[in-house]
A and B are shown apart, each in its own frame.
Chain A
């Protein structure tokens, strides 16, 4: 095992080497850093990297802890004390975190080493990582295409072996969809399962922190570390945390998987549908019973999401006023000028667009017709899932209707981009858990291979069962062993 090979390992494999003392935590950090230096100029996924802090933590690492000595990349929307937290926005370009988010504290308590802040869509608003104020992230599988978003950086670093694992956040699909576009595993926990303390808020009733990893087992390991109630976060749930690895490898024979007829009716790229259909067949061959179910309010989910999420975002982003932190416009004439210009200069176009929409739907005279109505339809969407989970253990669908699209393809049509979130937003609205895992490839016109993501949805707090199903599928296929050509050492690529 040369240092060049180390970054290709999973968290689980790295742990074995660390505990056998074949590799030291510092060696792992250095090897990762070398890979990042080599590969990231082609991907653009890291916004900041503190090697000194990581090496220091590595030297002090206790390899007997559950994640002892394992470096983990952190989406730049989560506070890591002493590190920048920019949310990929000009507004927070120079912001340095003064405390750790709870998920970061818990990773550290488990012995992990937060290493690197990853690029993202600004303030987590976007599905392509093109809304970063710094630079877009390029998909490691095809650098003319997007990695997905908003956790595009976190997904790309894991896919390109620039990280052993990463944390991202998911408000409408922002962990699952980039995981799908990048051919890796991405889990959105049930709402309240993981603390949002120290997470820069986008939509407070929808946001969740989730792991992006190369395997289901790795996702389970990260969940073990970060899940659980937090006294500092009042929406975190008191329910006990299972050992999420315990059920992996158990039989799935007899488990019931639902496919919604409304999902079948949605317009999906034929290659994506073909890969997902093959996954359904594989689940059947593993002994799961696949049944048709109905989620009658599916067609309303995107509309509900873009009213509720933007409304909540408009409230959460009101704090960026140039007073206590963040960008401040120079030479303001008066308070309104101070606010108006600070926010105009600090926010990018998509963020402004969503603030405007969210403000409008909450404003007097429109609140009832838009926001209130959307919240009521949201309740119907929740009920749809409650009804379905009384009959099945999990739901199955594509993660996204299309594979990774080209940079700039959706630049002028926000609505079209929003509609592509059809499979992912319902889970956030209902507060249930969901995972994306690789299930095959689509061929692009240019002849590149684009990963296809399979989404499984589970009932609230049913992550263990969801991971069990995902693991069974994963271990019956080779998709999780595939890496983009970029990830191979340059010598090999040239050969």
Chain B
């Protein structure tokens, strides 16, 4: 995997993050160093490990399916960049 070098531009597109050319070049170098360093993980025998998606063995933590009256629409709108009529105003996405 270290043979292929990190494609910063590709990752930036996925991350919806506009990078300048300088940033792209800088990150290319720096992150390639990090990934090359991380290549040491390939030495480790992980053949008998089931992947752990959970940091602690807690599964299916449920609560009562009942509405709680603690976070209002007003709260949710309180930091909106633009709002009107109890709605978020957003850039048009559909023509």
Contact = CB atoms under 8 A, between A and B. Distances in A.
Interface in A364-399: 366, 369-370, 372-380, 382
B14 A373 contact: no
Contacts of A336: 16
A366 B12 CA distance: 15
Contacts of B54: 205
Contacts of B79: 94-96, 98, 324-326
B58 A192 contact: yes
Contact of A359 (B11, B52, B82): B11
Given A324-B88, A380-B44, A344 B58 contact: no
Nearest to A85: B79
Contacts of B53: 375
B71 to A, nearest CB: 7
Contacts of B70: 99
Contact of A231 (B37, B56, B63): B63
Interface stretch (A32-40, A125-133, A162-170, A346-354): A346-354
B86 interface: no
B23 to A, nearest CB: 7
Interface string A431-455: 1000000000000000000000000
A205 B53 CA distance: 9
B15 A332 contact: no
Number of contact residues on A: which range applies? 35 or more
Given A322-B81, A352-B19, A377-B41, A360 B6 contact: yes
A344 B18 contact: yes
A377 B76 CA distance: 40
Interface string B35-49: 101101110101001
Nearest to A430: B55
Nearest to B14: A359
A376 B1 contact: no
Interface of B: 1, 6-8, 10-12, 14-19, 23, 27, 30-31, 33-35, 37-38, 40-42, 44, 46, 49-56, 58, 61, 63, 70-71, 75-76, 78-82, 88, 90-91, 93
